[in-house]
A and B are shown apart, each in its own frame.
Chain A
Amino acid sequence: MQKFLKILRFFVAPVALALAGPVVAQASTAAPDALVRDLTADVLDTIRADRAIANGDVSRVQKLVDEKILPYVDFQKMTRLAVGRGWRSATPEQREVLTREFRTLLVRTYSGALSQVKDHKVEMGPFRAQPGDMDVLVRTNVVPSRGDKIQLDYRLEKQDAGWKIYDVNVLGVWLVENYKTQFAGEVSAGGVDGLIKSLTDRNRQLADAKKA
C-alpha cells in the first residue's frame, strides 16, 4: 500500500501539473486586448531568448506553439466558420477530424513564419469594445527592425473559459475567409469526406517533405 502511494505520488505531480497548465491558461479572465498584448509579448520574448527557434528548430517552435498559443485558440470555431455550410452536414466524428487536420495544417505552415521573427515589436492598435461584448476585434501591428509594419489583427470570442482567438488577419487578409472558397469547392466536389481527404493528404505530404 505504502509503495502504491509512492508510485501514485510520482504520477500525480506531473499529471496534475500537465492538467493545471492548460486550465490556468484557459481560465483567463483578462480583457481581450490585454490577453493579446501579453500573449504576443510572451511569444516574442521566448523567441528572443531561445536561439534554437531562430535557427529553425522545428520541435522547439512546435513546443512554443503548443504551450503558449494553442490554449488561447478555438480551432473548432475556426474550422466551423471556414467549412461553412458543409459543417452542418458533417457528423460529430467528421467535425472532429476536420478540426484536427485543419489545426495541423495551420500549425505546420505558420510555425515556419515564427522562426523568421527576430527583433520584432508589437504595437497595440485602437481598441473599441463595450463591457457586454462577446465578440471583439483586437488590432495590432508587428514592427520589424527594418521595413514596413505588418498589420496583425485578431477576432476573439468570450467563452466560459475566457477569451479565445478564432480568426487572424494578416495584412488585411482574414484566415477563415481565405479558406472558405477552397473548402466549399472541396465539399461540393467530394463531400465532407473529400475535404477531409485533401487536408489529410496535404498534411501527410508536408510531414514527409520535412522528414526527407
Chain B
Amino acid sequence: MSVARLTLRGCIAFAVLVLASGCATLPPNAGQDPRDPWEKYNRNMFAFNDGFDEAITKPLAELYVKLPEGVRTCLSNAFSNLRGPSTAINNFFQSKPVEALSDVGRFAVNTTVGIVGCFDVATGWGMEAHREDFGQTLGVWGFEPGPYLVMPIFGPSSVRDAIGIYGVEPFLDLNFYIDYPGIEYTVLGLRVVNERAELLPADRLVREAALDRYSFIRDGFLQRRRSLVYDGNPPRVIDPDDEDDGDDAKAPAPARSTSSGPAQTKPPGEPGDGAGKPVDAKPGDAAK
C-alpha cells in the first residue's frame, strides 16, 4: 500500500475519532482554576484522548498483557534501561552526582550483565532505579509548571513538562539513536503499549473513585509531578481553610471569623482557592 493511501486512511481514522469523541461537557466554572486556565480546550482534548484510547491504545494494551509475565517484565526492564542515560544526565543536571554515578553504573550493568536491560541485575547490586526526566530538571531549576496542558494522545502535562518531556527528553532517550527506522518505531510503539498496560489496573480504580475523572486525573498529575521534582518529599502546602477547630460536632461556625488563624503556620493556600490569602508568594508558588 502506498504511503499516500496509508496517510489518507490515517486521516480518516483520525477524523472519525474526533467526531466520535464529540465535545466534552464543560462545568460552569471551567477555566477559573488558576492552575488550569485552558480547561475548556483541555477537557475537549481529554475527551478526544479517551476516544483514541478506547479505540486503539487500550485494546492493544489488553492484548499485550496476554504475553507471559516474564516476557513483559523483560521488555519493561529493557525499556526503562533505554531511559537510563537520560536519568543519569538529569540527576547530574539536578546536582545529584551520587545518584547520577549510580545511574551510570546501573545502565552499564543492566546493559551488559542484564542483556540489553532485560534483567534488572543492578537493583540487587545496590543501584536503585531512579526516574528522572528533563521536566523534573526544569522544576528543580525553579521553573513553575505553568498552565496544565492535555497533550493530544499523550495526555496530562503542563507547559514546563511538555517542553521538558516532549521537547528535550527525546534527544536524551536512546530510542532516538536507534538508526533503523523500522526498529526505532516498533520499540517506541511497544513502549507506549507497555506503559498503557501498566496503567490498566489503575484505570478501574480511577473510574470508581473519581466524581469528576478529568479533575481527579489533573490534580493527581500535578501533585505527582510536584512530588517528583522534590524526589518524593515536597514541602507541605497547608490550606488556610484547614482550620482545626476540633468542634466538628457543633453547628456551623459563624462565618470565617476563625479562619485567619495563626498566619505563620499557614503558608499561602492552594491556587484553586479564591479566598486563600497569597501573603507574599508569587502566583502559582504553592503549585510548584
Chain A residues lying within 8 Å of B262, measured Cβ to Cβ, are none
Cβ-defined contact, B33 with A181, below 8 A: yes
CB distance from B130 to the nearest CB of A (A): 10
By secondary structure, the A interface counts as: helix
Which residues, 167 to 186 on A, are CB-close (under 8 Å) to B? 169, 171-174, 177-186
B224-A172 in contact (CB<8A) = yes
A182 and B272 form a contact (CB under 8 A)? no
Q: What separation, in Å, do the CA atoms of A98 and B117 have in the docked complex?
A: 49
Q: Which stretch of B45-53, B160-168, B203-211 is in the interface?
A: B203-211
Measured between alpha carbons, how far is A116 from B202 in the docked complex, in Å?
11
Q: Say whether, besides A84-B239, A113-B205, A174 and B215 are in contact (CB < 8 Å).
A: no
Contacts of B99 in A (CB 8 A): none
B253 at the interface (CB under 8 A from A): yes
| Contact B223 A172, beta carbon cutoff 8 Å | yes
In contact, A172 and B201 (Cβ under 8 angstroms): no
> With the chains together, A91 CA to B253 CA distance in Å?
10
**Is B279 close to A, CB under 8 A?**
no
Task: In the A-B complex, list the 10 residue pairs whose CB atoms are closest, starting with the nearest.
Answer: A172-B227, A109-B209, A172-B224, A109-B208, A173-B223, A182-B211, A173-B220, A84-B241, A178-B219, A182-B212
Counting chain B residues whose Cβ lies within 8 A of the other chain, the interface size class is: 35 or more
Interface string of B216-248 (1 = CB under 8 A from A): 100110011011100011100001011000001
Cα of A95 to Cα of B73 in the assembled complex, Å:
46
A104-122 residues at the B interface, CB under 8 angstroms:
105-106, 108-110, 112-113, 116
Chain B residue contacts of A84, Cβ below 8 A: 239, 241-242, 273
Chain A interface, number of residues (Cβ within 8 angstroms): 46
Number of A-B contacts (CB under 8 A): 98
Check B232–A180 contact: CB distance below 8 A. no
Question: A206's closest neighbor in chain B, by CB?
Answer: B208
CB 8 Å contact bits of A157-173 with B (1 = contact, 0 = none): 00000000000010111
B138: shortest Cβ distance to chain A, in Å?
17
Known contacts A85-B241, A189-B27: A112-B252 contact under CB 8 Å: no
User: Once the chains bind, are A185 and B232 in contact (CB under 8 Å)?
Assistant: no
Known: A148-B129, A189-B27. A178 touches B239 (CB 8 A): no
**Contact A146-B73, Cβ < 8 Å, known A95-B248, A181-B219:** yes
Give every chain B residue within 8 A of A116 (Cβ-Cβ): 201
Once the chains bind, are A186 and B73 in contact (CB under 8 Å)?
Answer: no
Which residues from chain B contact A95 at a C-beta distance below 8 Å? 248
Residues from chain A with a CB closer than 8 A to the CB of B210 are 182
- In the complex the two chains form, is A185's CB within 8 Å of B27's CB? yes
Question: Is there contact, CB below 8 Å, between A188 and B29?
Answer: yes
A53–B150 alpha-carbon span in the complex (Å): 38
Asked if A91 and B232 sit within 8 Å, CB to CB, the answer is: no
Within 21-71 of A, Cβ neighbours of B (below 8 Å) are at none
Determine the distance from Cα of A147 to Cα of B80 in the docked complex, in whole angstroms: 11
Q: Which residues of A contact B29 (CB under 8 A)?
A: 185, 188
Query: A91-B252, A113-B205, A178-B220 given as contacts; is B242 within 8 A of A81 (CB)?
Result: yes
Chain B residues whose CB sits within 8 angstroms of the CB of A156 once the complex forms:
none
Q: What 1/0 flags go to B158-194 for Cβ under 8 Å of A? A: 0000000000000000000000000000000000000
Query: CB of A3 within 8 A of chain B?
Result: no
Question: What is the chain B residue whose CB lies nearest that of A169?
Answer: B227
B28 within 8 A of A: yes
Bound-state Cα–Cα, A185 to B272, Å: 10
State whether the Cβ of B251 lies closer than 8 Å to any Cβ in chain A: yes
Asked if A199 is an interface residue, CB under 8 A from chain B, the answer is yes
Which one of B27, B205, B223, B252 lies within 8 Å of A178 (CB-CB)? B223
Residue of A88, A109, A151, A174 touching B253 (CB-CB under 8 A):
A88
Name the residue in A113, A177, A206 with the highest tally of chain B Cβ atoms < 10 Å from its Cβ. Answer: A177
* Residue ID in chain B nearest A85 by CB atoms: B241
Among B209, B212, B224, the most chain A Cβ lie within 10 Å of the Cβ of B209
A30 vs B28: C-alpha distance when bound (angstroms) = 48
In the complex, what distance in Å separates the CA atom of A123 from the CA atom of B224? 20
A73 within 8 A of B: no
The smallest beta-carbon distance between B229 and chain A, in angstroms, is 10
Q: Give Cα A85 to B259, complex, Å.
A: 10
A131 to chain B, nearest CB (A): 19
Q: Cβ of B249 and Cβ of A92 under 8 Å apart? A: yes
- How far is B3's CA from A97's CA once the two chains are assembled, in angstroms? 61
